Amino acid sequence: MNPKPTVYLETTIASYLTARPSSNLIVAGEQEISRRWWEVRRERFHLFVSELVTSEAGRGDLAASKRRLDLIQDIAHLEIDESVLALTRKLLEGGDFPERSSTDAGHVAVAARHGMDYLLTWNCKHIANAEIIRRVSHIISEAGYYVPVICTPRELLGGCADE
């Protein structure tokens, strides 16, 4: 029996799953795709978060942060060790993550360091961005780590997107 593939859930996933429906049609669609993935597909994967996710999820409106934290409370946590910190620094030095987005680089580093199969995110500015994935993948490989597939829930819905 094959083990379940591993998925690192970046903070936007918890945010989209627990937020009130957006009036922005694109965001509302992404929220619905996230809910569909959560309901139909998540059991096919072994899910992980990190302290970075917990920290980000705990910010902002108290009621909203409680919903996010409740959603992820039973998900396994990956350690942020010196290897993660070193890889984060390398990713920041590569120039694809601005210093103010060091947490985004950290998410990628955690997923790579721990050999995740997938990094699931709706952050398409700094993480699921086709223009930077190639360069980021090179940095991760050069550091000796496996490059996770960085994708959105839409890409992990499999054949059930329209069911």
Residue 1 has a pLDDT of 59
Please list the residues that pair with 8 across neighbouring strands.
Answer: 48, 119
Are 121 and 12 a contacting pair, CB within 8 Å? yes
Two structure tokens written together for 41:
């597909």
For the segment 3-54, what is each residue's pLDDT rounded down to a tens digit?
899 999 999 999 999 999 999 999 999 999 999 999 999 999 999 999 999 9
Quote the CA–CA distance of 149 and 119 in Å, as a whole number.
6
- pLDDT of residue 124 exceeding 60, the answer is yes
Higher pLDDT, 110 or 97: 110
Alpha-carbon distance of 61 to 40, in angstroms, equals 29
CATH class given for the domain over 6-157: alpha beta
Res. 162: pLDDT tops 80? no
Alpha helix stretches (DSSP H) within the chain: 11-18, 25-40, 51-57, 62-72, 82-93, 102-113, 130-142
Q: How confident is the model at residue 86 (pLDDT cuts 50, 70, 90)?
A: very high
- Cα 41 to chain center, whole Å? 16
Query: Is residue 153's pLDDT more than 90?
Result: yes
Give the residue from 9, 34, 18 showing the smallest Cα distance to 107: 9
Give the pLDDT score at 2. Answer: 66
- Rounded Cα distance between 120 and 157, Å, is 11
Rounded to the nearest integer, the mean pLDDT of the chain is 93
Query: Residue 148 has which token pair?
Result: 């996770």
Structural domain boundaries in the chain: 6-157
In whole angstroms, give the CA distance from residue 77 to residue 113.
13
**Model confidence pLDDT, tens digit, residues 98-113:** 888 899 999 999 999 9
2 against 80, higher pLDDT? 80
Using DSSP's 3-state secondary structure scheme, residue 127 falls into coil
The percent of residues above 70 in pLDDT, for the chain, comes to 96
Q: Tell me, what's the pLDDT at 99?
A: 80
